[in-house]
Structure 1
Amino acid sequence: MKFVDLAEVTVIGGQGGDGLVSFRREKYVPAGGPSGGNGGHGGSVYLIAESNLQTLLDFRFAHEFKAKPGGRGGPSNRTGANGADRYIEVPCGTTVYNAETDELIGDLVTPKQILCVAAGGKGGLGNKHFLSNRNRAPEYALPGLEGECRRIRLELKLLAEVGIIGLPNAGKSTLISALSAARPKVADYPFTTLVPNLGVVRKPTGDGTVFADIPGLIAGAHDGLGLGHEFLRHIERTRLLLHLVDATTPDPLADYRTIQQELTAYGHGLSDRPQVLALNKIDAMSPEDAAVLVDLMAEATGTQVWAISAVTRQNLEDLLQTIWDGLDALPTPPAVSPTDEPLPPSTTAPLPTAELSLTVADGQ
């Protein structure tokens, strides 16, 4: 199945139930008075984050989600039943925007975190509510209010601590396959990787760190060239970037600057994200040429440069140690707690789970 990280859907809260106009008409109860009950509240639409989902593919086939309406008020001051809420499962890492105003509604990053995206309408008041000394027999009630209707945009941003970036054919997929058990497609032509790939790399302490292999960028990607900046959103959540440069190209420094310009043009603070720079494919050149190239890159960029080979695994351990040290030096991101609101049983069947093309693999 296709990896989908962007979708637009309409969510509609349930309409509130109408209030009732009713009077007591019982034997031996003269002038019973009004007894119309209030309508029930309409159900609300919620998004709930699930860790076992990793794509928005299901939303390609379902475009509208509506909660149940509230029940009408009943006689004898009976309040109508509240409409059932609608719960929609989305992957962890889903950001929700108002599709019309681009306003951020919420960000779902932890399992079971929930977000109300369309509130249900309030129930109307029955005529019992309008009883007063001046009006002993009100003959009117209020209709229920309509539920909130929104067009929302869902953007999936993968949850990874390290993002691997670089031009096409820089060796990103080969590197993540060497570091983890992920097995993305590897070939000797550009744009082999068309969707992000995740791999879990084990630290010496045994903890797992998620690496994301981002599809290759080219000059002008922020304007839509190549694959465009379609997948740059997936490195917005990363804490550190691993910039991979092909050492065998005619001008590795120009390749490095191309990616930096694209990060700056995209914005969202990506150009300020801590980076580790690595020259890949040094197995295809002499050690002397590799050393000269490393010195030139370090002098031009003002940063430490690692010479590695993803194919032969040369210097990968040292590169990983630099990444671990860099992550440890960064401040720990604040924890986001799931909502404490209890989840009543949903009366709506969950979306079907589709087979994914996104690879999530444990480290070796």
Structure 2
Amino acid sequence: HLERARVLLHVIDASEDDIEERFRTIDRELELYGAGLDERPQAIVLNKVDLLREPPSFQLDDSRIVGVHRVSAATGEGIEALKRWLFTAIPPVPEVAEEQEPGLAEFLEYRPQPPARRAYRIYRTDRGFRVIGEAPQGEELEAALEAAGVRQGQEVELGDETLEWR
């Protein structure tokens, strides 16, 4: 999940023009998203270096940028070096405090019961719909049939009865 990330990787297509502007665009989106994402350490991964004659440069001076890596997803160039860097550069996960002894909860947890299974089914037929099982009555049946897509003039079979939908 993005909000739990300790380092953000910007994968940028190095074969396109204006790499720094592409970074700035993503950075603005992170700022708008909030949650302090724009303040996190960030690494730049310039992809598609196999398509270039010279290695791409990234000259943006920003204290949040902790690394610039050049890779090719197509050929695998630079991928192993990037993986090794990630394992050394990402801060360790903070240790979780030991659980306290079980006691009275400081909050209530609400767990809604799943809705009871319906005791009926609605099937589409060539002339309308057929309700099989213990069909609900009144507004509940009407709502279920409308949710199934019944239209005015179609037949609705309820047990031995056939009704024309109004």
- The question of 1:271 aligning with 2:38 is answered yes
Instruction: Work out the CA distance in 2 between the residues paired with 1:280 and 1:267.
Output: 27
Shift of 1:257: 0.6
Shift of 1:250: 2.2
> What's the TM-score, normalizing by structure 1?
0.26
What is the one-letter code of the residue matched to 1:313? Answer: G
Counterpart of 1:334? Answer: 95
Greater share of residues in helix: 2
What is the one-letter code of the residue matched to 1:306? Answer: H
Q: Is the 8 A contact 1:240 1:273 kept in 2?
A: yes
Instruction: Work out the CA distance in 2 between the residues paired with 1:269 and 1:237.
Output: 11
- The equivalent position to 2:80 in structure 1, one of 270, 293, 317, is 317
Which structure has the larger Rg?
2
Instruction: Work out the CA distance in 2 between the residues paired with 1:282 and 1:320.
Output: 17
> What's the TM-score, normalizing by structure 2?
0.53
Counterpart of 1:252? Answer: 19
Change (3 A) 1:255 1:339: same
Counterpart of 1:285? Answer: 52
Shift of 1:326: 1.1
5+ long unaligned stretches in structure 2: 104-110, 115-166
Q: Is the 8 A contact 1:306 1:319 kept in 2?
A: yes
Shift of 1:309: 0.5
Query: Residues 16-165 of structure 1: matches in 2 within 5 Å?
Result: none
* Alpha-carbon RMSD: 2.9
Counterpart of 2:125? Answer: none
Question: After superposition, what is the alpha-carbon deviation per residue over 1:314-353, rounded to whole angstroms, capped at 9, x for unaligned?
Answer: 01111111111112xx2532316668659xxx9x67xxxx
Shift of 1:253: 1.3
- The question of 1:241 aligning with 2:2 is answered no
What is the one-letter code of the residue matched to 2:9? Answer: L
Q: Secondary structure at the match of 2:81?
A: helix
Q: Secondary structure at the match of 1:312?
A: coil
Shift of 1:300: 1.9
Q: Secondary structure at the match of 2:4?
A: coil
Number of aligned residue pairs: give it: 105
Q: Secondary structure at the match of 2:5?
A: coil
Identity %: 34
What is the one-letter code of the residue matched to 1:321? Answer: R
Q: Is the 8 A contact 1:276 1:323 kept in 2?
A: no
Change (3 A) 1:308 1:252: same
Q: Is the 8 A contact 1:263 1:270 kept in 2?
A: yes
Higher relative contact order (CA 8 A, sep 6+): 1
